Amino acid sequence: MTTIPTPSDPESIRRNVRERYAEVAREGSSCCGSACGCGADEELLQGIDMIGDAYNGVDGYVPEADLKLGCGVPVEHAGLAEGLTVLDLGSGAGLDVFVARSIVGDRGRVIGVDFTPEMIERARRNAAMLGYANVEFRLGEIENLPVESGSVDVVISNCVLNLVPDKPRAFAEIHRVLKPGAHFCVSDIVTLGDLPDALRESAAAYAGCVSGAVGESDYREIVAGAGFESVETVARREIHVPESLYERLGDAVRESTPRPALASVTVRARRSPA
């Protein structure tokens, strides 16, 4: 049976994540970058490179929208085409929305949803700068999407679903908004083995997409449980967990558990045509 890390106070997790990403939106970079004054818990995340140079050479890339928050490039595997309607979950400053827009063109439509007002404001400024009339950014939560049922051709997301306390509800919402026979393609973080409790309990680690991670098989089971079919992992990259993080967990933890291991995976699945 799937074991899903359940925070004792989901609302506190949401509040912490919203505050953290509001700061990222204001500062213009990830809060755990070298220029950020991180606190003790946030220092656990320093040195974890989630995205690297994955966006080098990607069409539609907009530097002003890249806050270095992703862990993959889901658009590369999403099967987008001209004229499609695309929904990006946790759209941040709009990076993947603008990349998707470069493919669906003027006849397509791209909607970004984010629950941080500061991110929505930043994304809308970027869209206005670019002059795009067929992109839209909506404020809302992934567990309760402000999107009409059966209206979307492709859902994408980049290193965001780990931030959602209720993952089964999130995937149920993805299923709801997709048209019959349509599909999603999301990049996310999964664990390779168990994460120590000390890491799971860190609010900063949760906001950094780490402690909300589940195992890959559990992740796929959650997706299938939401009613999706043809679930497949189309890309995978192991993420280096620095020795400094492991050392901060204490001698007792290091003696009882191996160093935590993570991977970025891009998962694709389809809603039944019926």
Which residue do the tokens 């909506």 mark? 138
Domain ranges of the chain: 10-54+66-271
Mean pLDDT of all residues in 163-181 = 95
- For residues 217 and 190, the answer to whether their CB atoms sit within 8 Å is no
**Model pTM?**
0.84
Burial class (CB in 10 A: 0-12, 13-18, 19+), 20: buried
Q: Specify the higher pLDDT residue, 204 or 122.
A: 122
Q: Specify the higher pLDDT residue, 38 or 224.
A: 224
Per-residue pLDDT reduced to its tens digit, 225-253: 999 999 999 999 887 766 666 666 666 65
Residue 39 has pLDDT above 50, yes or no: no
Mean pLDDT of all residues in 144-173 = 94
- Does domain 10-54+66-271 fall under CATH 3.40.50.150? My reply is yes
Q: What is the number of other CB atoms lying within 10 angstroms of the CB of residue 41?
A: 16
What's the confidence (pLDDT) of residue 230? 96
Residue 212 has pLDDT above 80, yes or no: no
- For residues 263 and 250, the answer to whether their CB atoms sit within 8 Å is no
User: What are the angstrom distances between the C-alpha of 24 and each of 36, 58, 99, 135, 202?
Assistant: 10, 23, 20, 22, 18
What's the confidence (pLDDT) of residue 208? 58
What's the confidence (pLDDT) of residue 221? 95
Looking at the chain, the whole-number percentage of residues with pLDDT higher than 90 is: 53
- For residues 75 and 156, the answer to whether their CB atoms sit within 8 Å is yes
